[in-house]
A and B are shown apart, each in its own frame.
Chain A
Amino acid sequence: DSGVTQTPKHLITATGQRVTLRCSPRSGDLSVYWYQQSLDQGLQFLIQYYNGEERAKGNILERFSAQQFPDLHSELNLSSLELGDSALYFCASSVAGGRGAYGYTFGSGTRLTVV
């Protein structure tokens, strides 16, 4: 158990639907990062939040959005789902204070299948 909790572990939904993925960071970590991993794209950075504020944005589609709540858990919302959105979605958290990337801890991921 890495300390980063992602739910659900598996999700199957139809095209056009909307889903929410949830991430609870490791205790004490203020930053949350979301990554998408599909077979043909590898691990792609989507977005970072730090203490409730958006800090960095990667190749995140407009149909996707995220937020970090006061209790520091984060949610990734995916809407108008397409077949190509099928992927593993990982959340990572890092220690506060800018200690660099080595402090990143990943969750076990949510496998999204769009049918």
Chain B
Amino acid sequence: DAKTTQPTSMDCAEGRAANLPCNHSTISGNEYVYWYRQIHSQGPQYIIHGLKNNETNEMASLIITEDRKSSTLILPHATLRDTAVYYCIVSSASNAGGTSYGKLTFGQGTILTVHP
């Protein structure tokens, strides 16, 4: 799986958009970009994933550059409950005979602190 680079920490004011960048310059064509977050020692929580198109769900938006070498996770209206470690993960999704490969390799992530 390709390696990712994220800032160690970021701050955001409550109610503002939080934009979390991730570099994955060695990403290959069949690798997806996934975002998970971990709130204070809880189990990691899936946020969003994408291949090459921008994606949006009820939690966040994912913007992937055209060359796919970087991406940005956007939390449109951050709240105090969004304070967490955010992990950007690149992994291939494969289906070989019905099995589920594609283990997640977590880096250090970005500590996002949302301030009142």
Residues of chain A touching chain B, judged by Cβ–Cβ distance below 8 Å, are 2, 4, 30-31, 33, 35, 42-45, 48, 50, 55-56, 58, 88, 90, 92, 94-109, 111
Contacts and interface: CB of A to CB of B under 8 A. Distances in A.
Given A2-B43, A105-B46, A99 B93 contact: yes
> How extensive is the interface on chain B, given as a class?
20 to 34
B89 A109 contact: no
Given A92-B44, A111-B41, 10 more contacts: A33-B104, A42-B107, A45-B106, A55-B99, A96-B100, A98-B98, A101-B93, A102-B34, A108-B42, A109-B41
Interface in B62-116: 87, 89, 91-96, 98-109
A51 B94 CA distance: 17
Interface of B: 32, 34, 38, 41-46, 49, 87, 89, 91-96, 98-109
A100 B51 CA distance: 11
Given A45-B105, A48-B103, A98 B43 contact: no
Nearest to B93: A100
Contacts of B41: 88, 109, 111
